[in-house]
Structure 1
Amino acid sequence: MGATTLWERWDSMLSDGSIDPGEMTSFNHYAFGAVASFLHNTIGGLSTLDPGWKRFLVRPQPGGSFTHARSSLKTPYGLASCQWSFSEDRDKLLVTAVVPPNSTAQISLPGIDTVVGSGTWTYDFPWKKDEEWPHKIIHPSFTQRPPVPDPL
């Protein structure tokens, strides 16, 4: 629907495509924006190191059932992006970073920690699945609901 942020209520759009006429139908809510920030910075691998994106960090952190991601941002210097995917047998991680002119990126990947200038940079390296993903439940009781008292 052309949204540029996550909506305040995930049920604001009805199944027929119309918008819920109820109150609290906003299309820009911070809590969901925090989710977007996590997806952009952690899964997508892009975060700023300086105001205005003169320097930024490329550090995707694959996990869970994600098999690929792409994150991009129009900075004052041009398009910055990070794209990653696993090889077919999931034993290699393939990463491509785009650094706009007159800016630099710190590339932080397993076994690689370097600063690069403008251009397109491609990396592939061995990948071992993080056995901690998905995280195990710390307290199983958190997933069990307490009994509902009888109102009578």
Structure 2
Amino acid sequence: MWEEIVPLGCQGSYQRVRAYVREKRLSPGPVTARPPSLGVVAGWILRRPETLTETVYLRLKAVLVHCPELDVLTGHVRSFGRMLTECQGERLPQWLDAVRQDDLPGLRTLAAGIDRDRDAVIAGLTLPWSSGGVEGHVDRIKMLKRQMFGRAGFHLLCKRVLLYS
């Protein structure tokens, strides 16, 4: 290295260059944190902001500063979450308009799907009734059916469903 930099105008001796290179080689480089994974960032976005620790909140804020599209997406996701948890289905048309204006590809398809059945979605976000119990039973029956795949017929499935209850 010294032989290459002397013709370029370096006034230092061989020993000086050697000491400088050795110091740089042994000194610890700047420590940078690994960027968070997509799943971790998605988890941060889906949580209520007030439940995030200060460290997590600052890391999420740093990620959102580097990606403005993700910042806009975070706003839409959180406003939809508030609509969902506070039964504010009447706000859905304004939310859909805001999503269409920002033109985010992932939300565009979600908005199109919601728009096809807008009245049912508004009712689901507004009314206090839930089909969660029925869905739980359907999932349980599907799980039992998967466990028995290829082993028995409909009659054994009926017995297992009745005995499992």
- Pick the TM interval, shorter chain: under 0.3
**Structure richer in strand, relative to its length:** 1
TM-score (normalizing by structure 1): 0.25
- Structure number, greater radius of gyration: 2
